[in-house]
Copies of this chain bind each other. A is one copy, B any other.
Amino acid sequence: MPADRAPTRIQRKNRAAILEAALDVFSSHGFRGSTVDQIAKAAGLSKPNLLYYFPSKEAIFNELMAGLLDTWLDPLRALDPEGEPLEEILAYVQRKLQMSRDFPRESRLYANEIVQGAPRLHDVIAADLNVLVEEKAQLLQGWMDAGRINRAHPKHLLFSIWSLTQHYADFDAQVRTLMGDEDPFDAAPQYLETLYRRMLTPKS
């Protein structure tokens, strides 16, 4: 294992290559379905060499997950109590949709984990995520009470945003097959904007 000192050039390069390869492999085969050998080969290293940089397969996975969750929740954190409610929500939807397009592997990695019961994530969800969701649900409820957007169950509203946006990353294989030549991300922004605008615009 590399010493506790500042990482050398080689260390930085190889650790980055491993995490990049691991994201690729884990996101398309799940934790259990991925082998250390696969990841090593994808990173251009031998298995023992990879294990020189990370103590175990699980350590790679955990580091990947830790890094992921933070960026994953940034768009929600950015929901601004001071902004115009409908525009804030629509912007959140679009930001989330962009993440599905630009970081589909991250989305699938997360999906893989949750679908299988979130065995390695349960604590994080119950703690950090729960607090954030509770806060933002309050915010949405406040906007609704003030008549600035239509009423709807705030948490279900958040779920629907996650669901609709991440669907384009998580079910990419299905969506693309059914869309043929058309790029799903051409019409998706418009579709989701229309959906949430119609749903939330308060009756004049």
Number of residues of chain A lying within 8 A (CB) of chain B:
50
Q: Is the CB of A178 within 8 A of B155?
A: yes
Contact status A152-B191, CB under 8 Å: yes
How many copies of this chain are found per oligomer?
2
Query: Which B residue's beta carbon lies closest to that of A160?
Result: B164
Contact of A160 among B130, B155, B191 (CB under 8 A): B191
Contact A178 B125 (CB under 8 A): yes
Q: How far is the CB of A183 from chain B (nearest CB, A)?
A: 12
Q: Determine the chain B residues whose CB is within 8 A of the CB of A106 once the complex forms.
A: none
Q: For residue A174, which residues in chain B have a CB less than 8 angstroms away from its CB?
A: 114, 118, 125, 129
Minimum CB–CB distance from A149 to chain B (whole Å) comes to 11
A115 interface contact, C-beta 8 A: yes
In Å, the complex CA distance between A110 and B173 comes to 12
Q: Does A33 contact B (CB under 8 A)?
A: yes
- Given A30-B33, A173-B122: A195 and B152 within 8 A (CB)? yes
Residues of B within 8 A of A117 (CB): 28, 173
A187 to chain B, nearest CB (A): 5
Which residues of A in the span 140-165 have a Cβ within 8 Å of any Cβ on B?
150, 152-153, 155-157, 159-160, 162-164
Across the A-B interface, give the 7 residue pairs with the lowest CB-CB distance, nearest first.
A32-B33, A163-B167, A156-B191, A118-B173, A198-B199, A153-B187, A163-B163
